Amino acid sequence: MKKFAALKTAISLPLAVLAAAFMIFINETSFQQSTKAVSNMEKAQQTRSAITGLVSQVLNAETGQRGYLLTGDTRYLEPYRVAVVDITENLNVLQQIFVSQPPLIGDFDTLSRHVSRKMAEMDLSVRMRKQGNDDGWKFVLTTDVGKEEMEAIRNQSDKLSASSIQQIEQGQAQVRKALQLSRIGIATTALVGLLAFYMYLMQNKALLVSGQREQETLERERDLLEKQVRERTASLAELATHLQNVREDERGHLARELHDELGALLTAAKLDVARLKSRLAGNLPEASERLEHLTSTLNTGIALKRRIVEDLRPSSLSHLGLVASLEILAREFEERSGLSITTDLEIVELGGAAQLTVYRLVQESLTNIAKYADATRVEISVHNFDNFIMVDVKDNGKGFKLESIGPGSHGLAGMRHRVEAAGGKLTVASAANRGTQVGAILPKSH
């Protein structure tokens, strides 16, 4: 018995030491991974902010340039010069950032080239305006060079921003992995500690009090770690909500920019074409015909701009309310897609954020139906109850198996998170060849 007790003593002590070392290793590994992931997420967010700032500065420079060209007022050159300086500084900052990211340096070089070309185009028109070469700067202004470069800048900035978002998502996944590793390590350590405690208890009853204290300490640590896990999970949920709000704010900002800047440019171009048409009427039939075609093209561009702005941030929500906005969305989508859409919408009282949640839910559902459902008919309904509202979007498409929804289904995941962030619940019902129904229940106050 003494030999057996000595053997248990020889085993239990190294076992306890091994458990402690294992817990320290797991905690340190999780801490290092989480710290690295948070650092990468912060860097990615800074990169995304710098890219957004660069696009905004280019737009500011273009605004000052266009203001000077159209009015001749040199006061517009001051914001233009300031924006040019800011663009140069921002490009230098981004150059330092992307030097350490070889896979993205090519995309950044492409963005830098487009920015340089855009700045060269604006500088050329400004110099010709200063020199009194009206025909030259007007010709430059009417070409699509600046528009094409601006579109290329937006595309490249969107691509780089998407890479930053991907890095943020990878960081979030790494944090979740580190938390999972911590929980596994803690559970394993707790089991090993209990085993060592049991062996000590069998060896000497006098260690009972010490063992009880050790168990209480382990429970406190477990509760503390579980609390930390809950807090970090809540923090990640808040981060996801924040990113979603940032996306909506960016979409609203882009919608305002398109409405104010691009709308003004298209309208000004249309007025110039109308003025030229009136002067050439009856003199040059071929030129009049081309101007008529250009007017039609500008009208199409204005309509496209209006549709894009409405998709980014529906102004009808604030001016007409939720029901009217959903009616407009349904009618416009019906015209574009050829689907037959019926609506059953009751007047509801919701805050601005909740209205936007309902609007995005219906918009995303219609987009998914057009992409995947092969449907011919869609029903949209909003019903009002005492303390909550119910939203349903139902189609007669081919449906799908719910168990086939994987982690890559970001559309449904995004809808679910948006609804849950508003205090509601999202449900999806579908079966093969029996259509799909996306429903949500949202409280009136949250």
For 182, half-sphere exposure in the C-beta direction (CA atoms, 13 angstrom radius) is 24
Question: Higher pLDDT residue, 91 or 196?
Answer: 91
Q: How confident is the model at residue 149 (pLDDT cuts 50, 70, 90)?
A: confident
- Rounded CA gap, 428 and 392, in Å? 10
pLDDT value, residue 2:
43
- pLDDT greater than 60 at residue 182: yes
Mean pLDDT of 261-269: 71
The backbone region for 441, taken as left when phi is positive above 0, alpha when psi lies in -120 to 50, beta otherwise, is beta
Mean pLDDT taken over the chain: 78
Instruction: Give the percent of the chain with pLDDT over 90.
Output: 8
Question: Higher pLDDT residue, 166 or 264?
Answer: 166
- Rounded CA gap, 57 and 387, in Å? 46
* Residue 170: closest CA among 277, 289, 290, 33: 33
Q: How confident is the model at residue 294 (pLDDT cuts 50, 70, 90)?
A: confident
pLDDT tens for 124-144 read 888 888 888 877 777 777 777
- Rounded CA gap, 48 and 152, in Å? 17
Q: How confident is the model at residue 256 (pLDDT cuts 50, 70, 90)?
A: low
> What backbone torsions phi and psi does residue 434 show, to the nearest 5 degrees?
-125, 15
Question: Higher pLDDT residue, 349 or 273?
Answer: 349
- pLDDT greater than 90 at residue 406: no
- Rounded CA gap, 374 and 386, in Å? 36
- Rounded CA gap, 283 and 286, in Å? 9
Mean pLDDT of 111-136: 82
The neighbour count for residue 296, using CB atoms within 10 Å, is 10
Rounded to a whole number of angstroms, the CA Rg of the chain reads 31
Q: How confident is the model at residue 382 (pLDDT cuts 50, 70, 90)?
A: very high
pLDDT value, residue 315:
65
- Rounded CA gap, 77 and 61, in Å? 9
- Rounded CA gap, 48 and 52, in Å? 6
pLDDT value, residue 260:
61
State the maximum Cα–Cα separation within the chain, in Å, rounded to a whole number.
120
Q: Which range is most confident: 64-78, 134-148, 321-335, 392-406?
A: 321-335
Burial degree of 58 (CB within 10 A; 0-12, 13-18, 19+)? buried
The pTM of the full predicted model, rounded to 2 decimals, is 0.41
Question: Higher pLDDT residue, 193 or 325?
Answer: 325
pLDDT value, residue 439:
92
Across 90-99, 273-282, 416-425, least confident range: 273-282
Mean pLDDT of 297-309: 73
Mean pLDDT of 356-366: 89
Vertex 211: Cα angle to 208 and 217 (nearest 5): 145
Mean pLDDT of 72-89: 83
- pLDDT greater than 70 at residue 255: no
- Rounded CA gap, 434 and 437, in Å? 10
Q: How confident is the model at residue 390 (pLDDT cuts 50, 70, 90)?
A: very high
Instruction: Give the percent of the chain with pLDDT over 70.
Output: 80
Q: How far is CA 162 from CA 15, 48, 260, in A?
A: 48, 9, 25
Q: How far is CA 436 from CA 116, 377, 394, 417, 427, in A?
A: 49, 11, 6, 19, 11
- Rounded CA gap, 273 and 292, in Å? 8
- pLDDT greater than 80 at residue 88: yes
Q: How confident is the model at residue 392 (pLDDT cuts 50, 70, 90)?
A: very high
